[in-house]
Chains A and B, each alone.
Chain A
Amino acid sequence: MRVIYQRVSDTQAEVHPWKYATVAPARKTVLQRIAQCESWYWQAGLLLWSAVCVLAIAMIFAYSRLGGSGLPELFLPAMICVFALPVWRLLDPFVPRGERIVIVCLVGMVCYSIKIVCNPVYFIYYDEFLHWRTTDDILATQHLFHPNALLPVGAYYPGLEVITNALSLLSGLNVFQSGLLVIAVARLVMLLSLFLLTERLLQSSRGGSLAVLFYMANPHFLLFDAQYSYESLALPFISLLLVLMEPHQSLAQRIGCLQPMSVCVPFMGTQRSILKDNQRMITVSTGLVIIALTFTHHATAFFFAIMLVLWSIICIARSSSPHMTYLLYMTVFALCLSSIAMMRTGNPVVGYLWGFIDKAVQELNAIVHGSSARPLFVSYAGPPAPLWERLFTFLSVLCIMVMLPFGLWSMFCQHRLNSLIVVCCVLALCYPVSQIFRLTVSGADLTNRLSAFLFIPIAMVLAMFIKQFFPVGTLSVCRKMFVAGLMTFIFLGGIMLGAGTNFALLPGSYQVNADARSIEPEGIEAAKWAAAHLPVGGQVATDRINQVLMGTYGKQEIVTNIADKIDLSSVFLVRQFGTRELMLLRRAHVRYLVVDLRLSQALPLVGFYYEQSEEHAFAHTVTVSATALSKFHYLPGVGRIFDSGDVIIYDVEGVVYEKTQ
C-alpha cells in the first residue's frame, strides 16, 4: 500500500536524468542533432509503416468481400501492427513534442483510412444514409429543416449537413466525397484537441499523447465515430470547447493577480490588457463553438451542458475561483441554447432520447427484479462469438476497470485543485456504471455510445496511471514492452466491441439486416431504378435496409414507425394479407411495397427485419417465411412492377385508391 501511495503521489514520475548529462557540451550538440535526425526517421518510417498496414488491411478486406473466412484472425494482427509501434515510440520519454503530435495524428488518420477502405465508393453504414438524406434534402430545397422520415430528429440538428453542403457546392464534389473530407477534418480536430487538452491537464506531452492513444480504444473510435454522422462532428466540438475553456481558469487567476499593480506599473497594465484580450477571444470562440455544437448533435450538446453544470457546481463549492462567473455564463448559455433547439416546433428529440433511456432503465429494473438478462456475446442471427473473442473483450474492459481507481487516485493526489480534472474524475466513475447496461437489449448500444464521451476523461485517467506507475526513470525495455502490449490489448478489445457482432461492420459477404453487410449492388440498383422510373416522393414501405436505400438512392418518401407512428411490419410478416394489413396500408397512404426475398434466408443480425416494434423483435427464432414475403404476388390489384430476383417492387395504388374512392 505504501508503494502504491508513493507511486500515486510521485510528482517526479516524468522527470528523467538528462540523457546526455555526462557528456561534454560539444558532444551533446552532436547527440541532439542525431536525436533530431532520428525523430525525422521515426516519423517517415512510421508513415511508411502505416501505409503498408493500410495496404495489408485493404487486401484483407478484399479477401473477405470475396467470401474468404477468418476476417478477425487476419484483421486483428494488422491492427496490432498499426498501433503497437506508435505506442512503443510514444512511451519513449525523449520523443520531441512535435513528433508526438505527428504520431498521434498519424494513428488517428490511419484508423479513419481503415473506415474509408471498407468502402471508398459509397456510404455503407446505416447512420450515414440517414444524414445523406438530410444533406440531399438541403441540396434540393436549398433550405434547412426539411422533414426526414428516416431520422426525424436529424433534420433539427443539421450542423454536419450544412458544412457538407458548403463544401459540396463550392468544390463540386459529391455528397459522399464532401462527407469524407468533413469527417476527416473533424477527426483531425478531435485528435489535436484531445492532445492539447490532456497535455495541458497532465502537464506532460508524453501523457497527452498516451491519453489520445487510450481514447482510440473506445469502441466507437474506429468505425462508428468515423462514419458520416452528426456525432462524428460533435465530439471534436466538445473536446475543442474543453481546450478553449481550460486556459480561462489560469487566465482569470493571472488577471486577478495583476489588477492591484496595474495602476502603478505601466507594463503590468499592458500585460493585463493582453490577458484580457485572450480572455475575450476565449469567450467569443467558446460561444461560437457552443452554438455549433448545439445545432450539430443533441446528445453531445446535453452531455456538454451536464459537464458544464458539474464544473460550475465544483467551482461554486470552492467559491474562490474568479473563473466562476465566466463558467456560469457559459453554462446558462449552453443550457438556454439546448432548450431553444429542443423546444423548436416539431422537434422530437425529447421523445427520441427519453424513449431510448426509459426502455433501457426499464429493462435494467426488470433484471434487478429477477428477469433474465441479455446474454452477452450472443448474436441475434447466428452463433455466439468464439471463446477467445469473448475473453479478449472481457479482459480489455477489466484492464480498464483495474487501472481506473489507481489513475483516479493519482489524479486526485496531484491535480485536485484543478476543477476540470475533478469533473473528469467524476465522469470517469460513470464508466463502470455504464457497463451494467450491457445486460439489457436497449441499453447495450447506450453503453457503447456513452463510451465515446466517457473515454475523454477515462483516457486521461489511464494515461495518468501509466505516467505514475511506469515512471520514465525506471522504464526498462521489458516494462516498455509490457505497457505497449497492455495498451494494444485494450485497443484491440475496443475494436472487437465496436466492430459489431461477428465483425459485421467490416467488409464481407452479404448478411440479412446486418447494416454494412447488407448494402450491396442489387439493392442499390433497385433503388436507383426507383429514382429513374417512379414518381419522386412516392410513399414506400419496406424493410430496414431498403428503407435507407430507397430514401437516398431512390429519392422516395419512406413510411417509418419513428416518423409516421405506423408500424407496417405486420404487412410483410404475416402469412396472409388481411383487412388489418389493408387498413394499415391505407392509413399510411402507401404507394409501393419493396420486398427483399433474401430476408427469408436468415435471422436479422440487428435483431429485427422491419421495425424495432415488430413482433418478436430482438427475439426472432425463426426466419420470416418466404410465403409471407411472396404473398403480394397473388393479391388482385397489386401490380408487380419490378423484379430483380431478390428485390421485388409492388404497386399497391390500386388497393388504396379503390377504398378512398
Chain B
Amino acid sequence: MRKRNRDLGFFLLLVCGNLIYTLLPIRSLVWQCIIAGALVFFLPGYLLQEILVQKQVYDMTWRLLVSVGLSLSIDIVSGFLLNVLPDGLTGRTWGLWLSGLTIVGVVFCLVKRRRWQLLYREEVRRRNYPPCLVVIMGILAVCLVIGIFISTTNMISNQPSKGFTQFWLLLKPSGSCTVQLGIQNNETGLTEYEAVVKVNGHLAGHWSVIRLQPQQQWGQHLALSSLVLNKDGQPTHVHVEANLYRVQVKNYVYRTVQLFLGASRNVCTQIALS
C-alpha cells in the first residue's frame, strides 16, 4: 500500500486557508497563532526531512525533533535571505516566503513519494483509550496551569507596590516659549495635588487642587513669552521651577522639576547659564 498523502493535503489546505484568510476583513488571534506556529515551528522542517528521507527508519520522536529543529534553522536562514530584499523582514514577506516554501515542499514531497513507490504497511493501531479518570486528571492539570498563569498575571499587574507620582516639565519642541507640565498618578489611591510654577522666582502658575485617580494623568501648557523679556523688552535668561505638593502634606515639596531657558524673539532654547 502506498503511503498516503493526507498529511500533505492537510498542510496545503492550511496554507491555502491562510492565504484566503489574509484577504478577509476579519482577524482572529487564535487562527493567526495556529498558522504562525505551524509555519515557523513545524512545516518547513517536516517537509524537508520528508523530501530527504523516503523510508522512515526513524521513530516518531526523532521525526518530530528533526522537524522542529530544522524548521528553526530554516527560519534563521530565511531571515538572512529576506534581509537582502529591500522590503526586509515584514509580515508580508515572511508570510509569502514560508507559505511558498510549504507549497514547494508539498509538491516536491508528492513527486518523490510517487517516484519511489515504496510499500508501507499501514499499521492498524489499537487505540487503548485511557479510562476517564486519566482524562479528567489531564484536563484538571491543564486547567490548573492556565489558572495559575492567569492569576499570576493579574497578581503582578495589580501588585500592591510602593506607589509613586511622575511629575514633569518640558519645553514644547515647536520653539515657542511654552512649557508643558504634567502629572501621572501611580499611587495606590486617589491623590490630591497642588502645583506651583515660578519663573525667575515669580509665581507664574498655581493649581491648588488637582485630584487624580490612580493611573490618571494631568497636563497643562504654560506660555512664557511675556515672562522671558526683561523690563526693557529684551530677551533674558529664565529659570522655570515647578513644585508639586500633596494637599495632605502641603509644607513638603513632593516633586520638583526645573528648566533653564534662553529666549530670543519668542523662541526659547535650553541653555547653560554659566
Chain B 65-103, CB-CB to A under 8 Å as 1, else 0, gives 110111011111111100100011111001100100000
Contacting residue for A644 out of B133, B159, B167, B260, CB 8 A: B167
Chain B 246-271, CB-CB to A under 8 Å as 1, else 0, gives 00000000011111100000000111
Q: Interface size of B by Cβ–Cβ distance < 8 Å?
A: 93
User: Are B131 and A37 in contact, CB atoms less than 8 angstroms apart?
Assistant: yes
Contacting residue for B152 out of A117, A142, A644, CB 8 A: A117
Chain B 30-68, CB-CB to A under 8 Å as 1, else 0, gives 001101110111000000110011110100011011101
| A-chain residues with CB within 8 Å of residue B137 when the two chains form the complex | 44-45, 47-48
User: Are B88 and A58 in contact, CB atoms less than 8 angstroms apart?
Assistant: no
Instruction: Say whether, besides A521-B161, A525-B184, A525-B186, A641 and B169 are in contact (CB < 8 Å).
Output: yes
How long is the Cα–Cα vector from A44 to B32 in the complex, in angstroms? 30
Instruction: Say whether, besides A120-B153, A240-B69, A645 and B36 are in contact (CB < 8 Å).
Output: no
Contacting residue for A143 out of B32, B37, B83, CB 8 A: B83
B23 within 8 A of A: no
A475 within 8 A of B: no
| B-chain residues with CB within 8 Å of residue A173 when the two chains form the complex | 29, 33, 36
B220 within 8 A of A: no
B16 within 8 A of A: no
User: Are B72 and A292 in contact, CB atoms less than 8 angstroms apart?
Assistant: yes
User: Are B65 and A295 in contact, CB atoms less than 8 angstroms apart?
Assistant: no
B20 within 8 A of A: no
Shortest CB-to-CB span from A394 to chain B, Å, is 33
A159 within 8 A of B: yes
User: Are B156 and A119 in contact, CB atoms less than 8 angstroms apart?
Assistant: yes
B124 within 8 A of A: no
How long is the Cα–Cα vector from A196 to B259 in the complex, in angstroms? 65
Shortest CB-to-CB span from B181 to chain A, Å, is 11
User: Are A645 and B156 in contact, CB atoms less than 8 angstroms apart?
Assistant: no
Instruction: Say whether, besides A144-B83, A165-B89, A171 and B33 are in contact (CB < 8 Å).
Output: yes
User: Are B76 and A196 in contact, CB atoms less than 8 angstroms apart?
Assistant: no
| A-chain residues with CB within 8 Å of residue B83 when the two chains form the complex | 143-145
A52 within 8 A of B: yes
| A-chain residues with CB within 8 Å of residue B74 when the two chains form the complex | 288
User: Are B62 and A196 in contact, CB atoms less than 8 angstroms apart?
Assistant: yes
Contacting residue for B73 out of A54, A289, A520, CB 8 A: A289
How long is the Cα–Cα vector from A572 to B26 in the complex, in angstroms? 53
User: Are A642 and B166 in contact, CB atoms less than 8 angstroms apart?
Assistant: yes
User: Are B166 and A526 in contact, CB atoms less than 8 angstroms apart?
Assistant: yes
User: Are A651 and B270 in contact, CB atoms less than 8 angstroms apart?
Assistant: yes
Contacting residue for B89 out of A169, A171, A185, A639, CB 8 A: A169
Q: Which listed segment binds A: B3-11, B141-149, B221-229?
A: B141-149
Name A427-468 residues within 8 Å CB distance of B.
Answer: none
Q: Which listed segment binds B: A187-195, A384-392, A409-417, A617-625?
A: A187-195
User: Are A292 and B77 in contact, CB atoms less than 8 angstroms apart?
Assistant: yes
User: Are A642 and B167 in contact, CB atoms less than 8 angstroms apart?
Assistant: yes
B24 within 8 A of A: no
User: Are A533 and B168 in contact, CB atoms less than 8 angstroms apart?
Assistant: yes
Shortest CB-to-CB span from A520 to chain B, Å, is 7
User: Are A40 and B141 in contact, CB atoms less than 8 angstroms apart?
Assistant: no
Instruction: Say whether, besides A141-B88, A274-B55, A291-B77, A44 and B134 are in contact (CB < 8 Å).
Output: yes
**Other A-B pairs, 4, CB within 8 Å; known A162-B76, A196-B61, A642-B257:** A40-B134, A45-B137, A166-B79, A236-B72
Residues of B within 8 A of A (CB): 27, 29, 32-33, 35-37, 39-41, 48-49, 52-55, 57, 61-62, 64-66, 68-70, 72-80, 83, 87-91, 94-95, 98, 128, 130-131, 133-135, 137-138, 140-142, 144-145, 147-149, 151-153, 155-157, 159-162, 164-170, 173, 182, 184, 186, 244, 255-260, 269-274
9 pairs across A/B with beta carbons < 8 Å? A66-B160, A119-B156, A120-B153, A166-B79, A171-B32, A189-B65, A296-B76, A637-B260, A640-B256
Residues of A within 8 A of B (CB): 33, 36-37, 40-41, 43-45, 47-48, 50-52, 54-55, 58, 61-62, 65-66, 101, 113, 116-117, 119-121, 138, 141-145, 158-159, 162-163, 165-167, 169-173, 181, 185-186, 188-189, 192-193, 195-196, 233, 236-237, 240, 243-244, 274, 277-278, 280-281, 284-285, 288-289, 291-292, 295-296, 520-522, 525-526, 529, 533, 535, 633, 636-646, 651, 653-655, 657-658
